Structure 1
Amino acid sequence: MPEGPTIVILREEAVGFEGRLVEEVSGNSRLDLQRMRGERITALCSWGKHFLIRFPTFAMRVHFMLFGSYRINERREAAPRMSLRFDDGQELNFYACSLRYIEGDLDVVYDWSGDVMADAWDPKKARRKLKARPMLLAADALLDQTIFAGVGNIIKNEVLHRIRVHPESQVGALSARKLGELITQAREYSFDFLHWKKQFVLRKHYQVHTKQICPRDGTRLSYRAKLGHFQRRAFFCETCQVFYGERLPPPEPITRGRKTISKKATKAPAKAVKKAAKKVTKKVSKKTVTKAVKPAAKRSSARRV
């Protein structure tokens, strides 16, 4: 999924389309794309992972989801979700993305102070939001777009490693200094990301994301395919990334018959219970058949002798 810095790059690359009149519109979106035909682009801007095309009375929001992409003055083989063409033959194409019209003033719809890459970014407001949700996991906090608009999974993993915080730490357990580091680095790493991506060296600077060994202490990194509320991949070091807070206790065990099982296990679907019952029935049936057949087998062999 393209993160905030990638959207900033798009905004910078497409700035030449500001003030231009849209002559042709096409695409496989279900929206009425022809609404933009004949309209003049007043501004191109970004908020977090949203690319915003402003027109006089409305705006088009582009969200690239997991696999979205764009092309300026060139095309992919796949059909575009939206294609804007201008009078001199130039075009702006978007693929595999989510589109939505936004009515009215964007300044009313968006809180620009929540965008980690915006000039209006307000770290004090971010701190207040985090203080109001003390049980929030550090990993979830960074991915929450209402707090850190533009931060994605790569930035999350790298920031937590940079400030030595375990992704499952609770933000309410972080010291004031450590919480400040999280807020500061969410922005600073985003600009590092932007610089490295422009130089085509972003992956060379990954410390933990998609890596196996921690460059700080040489130990093997931990990996979770799905972690936290957002269920995103996590790469982290159990040695140098400190856990803050209280770990959730395991499910309380309960006793049923001679076996002790957890409460979680008792919530098995009805189909699973029926399937297990059938297996038990089959085992019992096999034992019964075996006992009945064995004597008969002996009598049969006696007759042969």
Structure 2
Amino acid sequence: MPEGPSIILMKENLLPFVGNKVTEVSGNAKFEKEPLIGQTLKEIRTFGKQTYLVFDRLAVRIHLLMFGSYSVGEQTKPDKSLRLSLHFATGSLYFYTCSVKLVDFEFLSAIDWEADIMSDIWNPKKAEAKLKAKPETMVCDALMDQDIFSGLGNIIKNEVLFRVGIQPESLLGNIPPKKQKELIAESRNYSFDFLEWKREFVLKKHWLVHTKSTCPKCGQKLIKKQTGLGKRRSFYCEKDQKLY
């Protein structure tokens, strides 16, 4: 599943279509597509792993899920995978194997945009309060909670926990407040590192523990384990990451 930084790159690729009118719509997404014809793409907004194409009177939410993708200019996958295609005088957009839904402006206004780790209005104080309210939650689950860290995924989770020296099964209530602040700050810092490395096609070269077998600090064998309620893969060092 693409994480927040990858969705920012997707937005950048779609931005040239802002200001253009839809001339044709197709795809197998299960909603009435006719209302989109003639509408102007006003802006593109992202929230974590979701992309919102905002038109005159409504918006389209795109969530790539685990295996979704998109293309610009030409259709690159078969019709059975095509959820939505939007055609403009200047070109076309195609979205495959993803969730596509129509939403209204009331839905958009209800989103807590301050929870998006990539956003200019990211609010670390709000994230801190949300963590404090869940003392019995494992930190690995908290980091993957899109209500707290919208856009943060499994790669970022593993790398951030290694950077701050916390084992994934640590309980939030046991982690000192200072360490929690470090965790929050590093979640955002790493997300922007992720974005730059992704732009340069060198992301995997910078992974320290994700999918790795040995600790880059001490050389000890890393633990690979499904952790938390989400049972997502964690890679961590028992020596260099503390269990709280």
> Which interval holds the TM-score relative to the shorter structure?
over 0.9
Partner of 2:191: 190
Partner of 2:22: 22
Partner of 2:228: 228
Residues 57-136 of structure 1: pairs in structure 2 closer than 5 A: 57-79=57-79, 80-88=82-90, 90-105=91-106, 107-136=108-137
SS of the residue corresponding to residue 57 of structure 1 reads coil
For residues 268-295 of structure 1, the C-alpha deviation after alignment (integer angstroms, 9 at most, x for no partner) is xxxxxxxxxxxxxxxxxxxxxxxxxxxx
- The TM-score normalised by the length of structure 2 is 0.96
SS of the residue corresponding to residue 81 of structure 1 reads strand
Equivalenced residue count is 242
For residues 132-174 of structure 1, the C-alpha deviation after alignment (integer angstroms, 9 at most, x for no partner) is 1111111001000000000001000100011010000011111
SS of the residue corresponding to residue 14 of structure 1 reads helix
SS of the residue corresponding to residue 5 of structure 2 reads helix
For 1:157 and 1:171, locate their aligned partners in 2 and report how far apart those are by CA, in whole Å: 16
Question: Contact 1:26–1:34 (CA<8 Å) still a contact in 2?
Answer: no
- How far does residue 31 in structure 1 lie from its aligned partner after superposition? 1.8
- How far does residue 109 in structure 1 lie from its aligned partner after superposition? 2.1
- How far does residue 220 in structure 1 lie from its aligned partner after superposition? 0.7
1:240 aligns with 2:240: yes
- Structure 2 counterpart of 1:187, one-letter code: R
Moved more, 109-118 or 75-84: 75-84
- Structure 2 counterpart of 1:101, one-letter code: L
Question: Contact 1:58–1:105 (CA<8 Å) still a contact in 2?
Answer: no
Residues 199-210 of structure 1: pairs in structure 2 closer than 5 A: 199-210=200-211
Which runs of structure 1 show a deviation greater than 6 angstroms over 4 or more consecutive aligned residues? none
For 1:240 and 1:33, locate their aligned partners in 2 and report how far apart those are by CA, in whole Å: 53
Residues 120-199 of structure 1: pairs in structure 2 closer than 5 A: 120-199=121-200
- Structure 2 counterpart of 1:69, one-letter code: S
CA separation of 1:183 and 1:118: change in aligned 2, threshold 3 A? same
For 1:77 and 1:51, locate their aligned partners in 2 and report how far apart those are by CA, in whole Å: 20
For 1:6 and 1:48, locate their aligned partners in 2 and report how far apart those are by CA, in whole Å: 10
- How far does residue 26 in structure 1 lie from its aligned partner after superposition? 0.7
- How far does residue 3 in structure 1 lie from its aligned partner after superposition? 0.4
- How far does residue 125 in structure 1 lie from its aligned partner after superposition? 0.5
Higher relative contact order (CA 8 A, sep 6+): 2
- How far does residue 105 in structure 1 lie from its aligned partner after superposition? 4.0
Question: Please, which runs of 5 or more residues in structure 2 have no aligned partner?
Answer: none
- How far does residue 106 in structure 1 lie from its aligned partner after superposition? 5.3
- How far does residue 229 in structure 1 lie from its aligned partner after superposition? 1.4
For 2:34 and 2:6, locate their aligned partners in 1 and report how far apart those are by CA, in whole Å: 27
For residues 222-244 of structure 1, the C-alpha deviation after alignment (integer angstroms, 9 at most, x for no partner) is 111x3211221111111111000
- How far does residue 107 in structure 1 lie from its aligned partner after superposition? 4.8
For residues 93-136 of structure 1, the C-alpha deviation after alignment (integer angstroms, 9 at most, x for no partner) is 11110011111245522111100010110000100000011111
**Identity of paired residues, percent?**
44
- The TM-score normalised by the length of structure 1 is 0.77
For 1:35 and 1:170, locate their aligned partners in 2 and report how far apart those are by CA, in whole Å: 48
- Structure 2 counterpart of 1:231, one-letter code: K
- Structure 2 counterpart of 1:83, one-letter code: S
| Greater Cα radius of gyration, structure 1 or 2 | 1
Specify which structure has the higher proportion of helix. Answer: 1
For 1:48 and 1:197, locate their aligned partners in 2 and report how far apart those are by CA, in whole Å: 16
- Computed over aligned residues only, the root mean square deviation of the Cα atoms, in angstroms, reads 1.1
Residues 6-45 of structure 1: pairs in structure 2 closer than 5 A: 6-45=6-45
